[in-house]
Amino acid sequence: MIFEQIATGGCQSYLVGCADTCAAALIDPEQSQVDRYLALAARESLRIRYLVDTHTHADHFSGTRELARRLEVPVVMHRASPAPFVDMRLDDGEMLAFGKLRLRVMYTPGHTRDSMCLVAEDRVFTGDTLLIGGTGRTDLPTGDPAALHASLFERLLKLDPALEVYPAHDYKGQGHTTIGRELAGNPRLQKSGRAEFVEMMRNLNLSMPTHLTEALRTNMSGGKTVAQLLAEAAATVPFMSLEELKARVESGESDLIVLDVRERDAYEDAHIPGARLLPRGQLELRVNQDLPDPTPRILAYCEFGRISTLAAATLREMGYQRAVALDGGMKAWREAGFPTKTGREA
Ligand SMILES: [Fe+2]
**Quick one: three-class SS letters along the chain?**
CEEEEEEECCEEEEEEECCCCCEEEEECCEHHHHHHHHHHHHHCCCEEEEEECCCCCCCCCECHHHHHHHHCCCEEEECCCCCCCCCEEECCCCEEEECCEEEEEEECCCCCCCCEEEEECCEEEEECCCECCECCCCCCCCCCHHHHHHHHHHHHHHCCCCCEEEECECCCCCCCEEHHHHHHHCHHHCCCCHHHHHHHHHCCCCCCCCCHHHHHHHHHHCCCCHHHHHHHHHCCCCEEEHHHHHHHHHCCCCCEEEEECCCHHHHHHCECCCCEECCHHHHHHHHHHHCCCCCCEEEEECCCCCHHHHHHHHHHHCCCCCEEEEECCHHHHHHCCCCCECCCCC
Distance 283 CA to ligand 1 centre (A): 40
At 202-231, the pLDDT tens digits run: 999 999 888 999 999 999 998 999 999 999
Find the mean pLDDT for residues 259-268: 97
Distance 128 CA to ligand 1 centre (A): 5
Distance 213 CA to ligand 1 centre (A): 14
Distance 300 CA to ligand 1 centre (A): 39
pLDDT recorded at residue 266: 97
Distance 13 CA to ligand 1 centre (A): 12
At 130-185, the pLDDT tens digits run: 999 999 999 999 999 999 999 999 999 999 999 999 999 998 889 999 999 999 99
pLDDT-derived band at 346, boundaries 50, 70, 90: low
Distance 90 CA to ligand 1 centre (A): 18
Distance 302 CA to ligand 1 centre (A): 36
pLDDT recorded at residue 171: 87
pLDDT-derived band at 25, boundaries 50, 70, 90: very high
Distance 95 CA to ligand 1 centre (A): 22
